[in-house]
Copies of this chain bind each other. A is one copy, B any other.
Amino acid sequence: MPELILDISMSLDGFVAGPNPTLEDPLGQGGEQLHEWVIGTKAWREAHGQEGGQEGVDSDLAAELVGQASATIMGRRMFSGGAGPWEEDPNADAWWGDNPPFHHSVFVLTHHEREPLELKGGTTFTFVTDGIESALEQARAAAGDGDIRLGGGADVAQQYLRAGLLDRVQLHVVPVLLGQGTRLFESNGGSLELARVGESPSGVVHLDYRRP
């Protein structure tokens, strides 16, 4: 059975974006630090037509993630960056360029109806206004036997988490404390058990940090 996979980078203190996001700085203050690990890898750079980059664990995982999903679901702000909805901002499309890195169907959760947007390289953005379950259903149909990647942001991830629809959570915990911003896990009044893939019996991860 294809899985709905949340794949997201988070600071050690639980933030997936820094405070005060703007159009120029959509990840908020300090938020770009959360993605440096992947942008610096050979695999990510290759997938984006760039040379160089680091090899190793991070790059191997980035390569795996690039090819993992056959459809993607994302929130409206992840589609148009820090920009407002497309009714308000004609540049909202420019965020992912004319050849986005998905190469499959992307379903964008939004309150604003819009015709699908077909771009180069096999990426089609479809705009879903009737909720997360509808988006998942459409993504499943598009993905066939493949998995579906939930790209974010935090709000969309929380909606799927609360609804019990996430099958897998791939978290990249970045060794930085942002102090403020958007939390992946807000207090939600619920609880959920998770099983860690392929590790010790307890599933506990032991992290060890020092001041640099």
Contact = CB atoms under 8 A, between A and B. Distances in A.
Interface residues of A, number: 57
Number of copies: 2
A173 interface: yes
Contacts of A166: 211
A212 interface: yes
A171 B13 CA distance: 11
A185 interface: yes
Given A175-B203, A200-B57, A200-B58, A209 B185 contact: no
Interface of A: 9, 12-14, 30, 36-37, 40, 54, 56-58, 61, 161, 166-180, 183-185, 187-198, 200-212
29 contacts: A12-B171, A13-B14, A14-B14, A37-B204, A54-B201, A56-B201, A57-B200, A57-B206, A58-B200, A168-B208, A168-B211, A169-B207, A170-B206, A172-B204, A172-B207, A173-B207, A174-B203, A176-B191, A177-B193, A179-B188, A179-B191, A179-B192, A180-B189, A193-B211, A195-B209, A195-B210, A197-B210, A198-B208, A203-B209
